Amino acid sequence: MSLHHLTPDQLMATTRSVRKRLDLTKPVEMSLIEECVQLAMQAPTSSIGQNWQFLVVCDAEKKRRIAKWYRKGHEVFLQRRANAQKDRQGPPANPSADARTQTSIAYLADSIQDVPVLLIPCLRGRLNHPDVSSDLVYQATMYASIIPAVWNFMLAARARGMGSCWTTSHLHYEREIADILNIPYHEVTQVALIPVAYTLGSDFKPAPAQPADAIMRVDSW
Ligand SMILES: Cc1cc2nc3c(=O)[nH]c(=O)nc-3n(C[C@H](O)[C@H](O)[C@H](O)COP(=O)(O)O)c2cc1C
């Protein structure tokens, strides 16, 4: 296990969305993924429900089939983004940073089949079932019962020299992905797809962030 010697603050500040710096040539040991999943399971869940499942995909043919749908999902994302920009009638606030991010997102879409491990966190239950789909408390409770776990996974991966990125593009074709992976679609909701690989280099800078007092309110909105 090659832990970076990062302080907790450094670990949180430098666990970034890694795409172009994923090492597509170096296999990732399953034992490391298991360690990260074990740490993920320290996260809180509502009423200790621990309603999670983590599907780890390494098989080349399955990744190739997933990639096809991921790329189609990326096209949906691009279309929605273009429509949103038209509605706002203007370019993004920081066009050069935005262009860099979009190039990086497109690179990942092109190379996703080559990433050594694709992690698909799932929740038991369908969050779009008519009984619960408009119940905001239920939705918040269920998503919050897996997102902290996945973030733990991503922090643990970074601490072991690996990089990852939260992605949702494949969810536009969740049913097709379920078929590829034999996920019981009517009983299980996929939440994300996390590519995981060793990183090319280990120096990651904190992202430019707003000062806390710009978004923080105390005692009243
Ligand atoms: C809910 C969510 C969905 C995302 N979906 C995608 C995605 O489909 N593809 C992708 O490349 N990045 C995706 N991202 C990553 C964001 O684009 C990323 O957080 C942003 O580029 C900022 O990068 P940073 O994490 O390094 O600050 C997603 C992030 C979140 C939180």
Q: How far is the CA of 57 from the centre of ligand 1 (A)?
A: 20
pLDDT the model gives residue 89: 67
Reported as a single tens digit per residue, the pLDDT across 189-199 is 999 999 999 99
Cα 2 to Cα 29, 65, 111, 161, 165: the distances in Å are 12, 32, 26, 7, 20
**Out of 23-32, 44-53, 69-78, which region has the weakest mean confidence (pLDDT)?**
44-53
Q: Which of 139, 164, 137 is nearest to 152 (CA)?
A: 164
Most informative mutation of 166, 174, 210 for ligand 1 (most atoms within 8 A of CB): 166
Averaged pLDDT, 212-218? 96
- Tell me, yes or no, whether 216 lies in a domain: no
CB distance 151 to ligand 1 below 6 Å: no
Q: How many domains is the chain built from?
A: 1
CA atoms in the 13 A half-sphere facing the CB of 104: 16
pLDDT the model gives residue 87: 82
What residue's CA is closest to ligand 1, atom 18?
A: 17
User: Which CATH number is 117's domain given?
Assistant: 3.40.109.10
Q: Are 196 and 33 in contact, with CB atoms under 8 Å apart? A: yes
Reported as a single tens digit per residue, the pLDDT across 123-140 is 999 999 999 999 999 999
Reported as a single tens digit per residue, the pLDDT across 60-92 is 999 999 999 999 999 999 999 999 888 876 777
CB distance 99 to ligand 1 below 6 Å: no
pLDDT the model gives residue 114: 98
CA atoms in the 13 A half-sphere facing the CB of 107: 14
What is the helix (H) or strand (E) element at residue 152, kind and residue range?
helix 147-159
Averaged pLDDT, 160-185? 98
Spacing of C-alpha 208 from chain mean position? 20
Q: How far is the CA of 165 from the centre of ligand 1 (A)?
A: 6
Q: Are 185 and 145 in contact, with CB atoms under 8 Å apart? A: no
Most informative mutation of 168, 170, 199 for ligand 1 (most atoms within 8 A of CB): 168
- Tell me, yes or no, whether 156 lies in a domain: yes
Mean pLDDT, the chain, rounded, equals 95
- Using the predicted structure, report yes or no on whether residue 35 has a pLDDT greater than 60: yes
- Per the structure, the complete domain to which residue 174 belongs is given by 8-206
- Tell me, yes or no, whether 109 lies in a domain: yes
- Tell me, yes or no, whether 41 lies in a domain: yes
Q: Are 128 and 190 in contact, with CB atoms under 8 Å apart? A: no
- Using the predicted structure, report yes or no on whether residue 178 has a pLDDT greater than 50: yes
What proportion of the chain, given as a percentage, has pLDDT over 90? Answer: 88
pLDDT the model gives residue 47: 85
pLDDT confidence bin for 1, thresholds 50/70/90: very low
- Tell me, yes or no, whether 211 lies in a domain: no
For the residues of 163-176, what is the DSSP string, one character each?
EE--B-GGGGGHHH
- Tell me, yes or no, whether 2 lies in a domain: no
- Tell me, yes or no, whether 14 lies in a domain: yes
Structure tokens at 105: 């997102």
- Tell me, yes or no, whether 217 lies in a domain: no
| Residue 17 DSSP symbol | B
pLDDT the model gives residue 116: 98
- Using the predicted structure, report yes or no on whether residue 3 has a pLDDT greater than 70: no
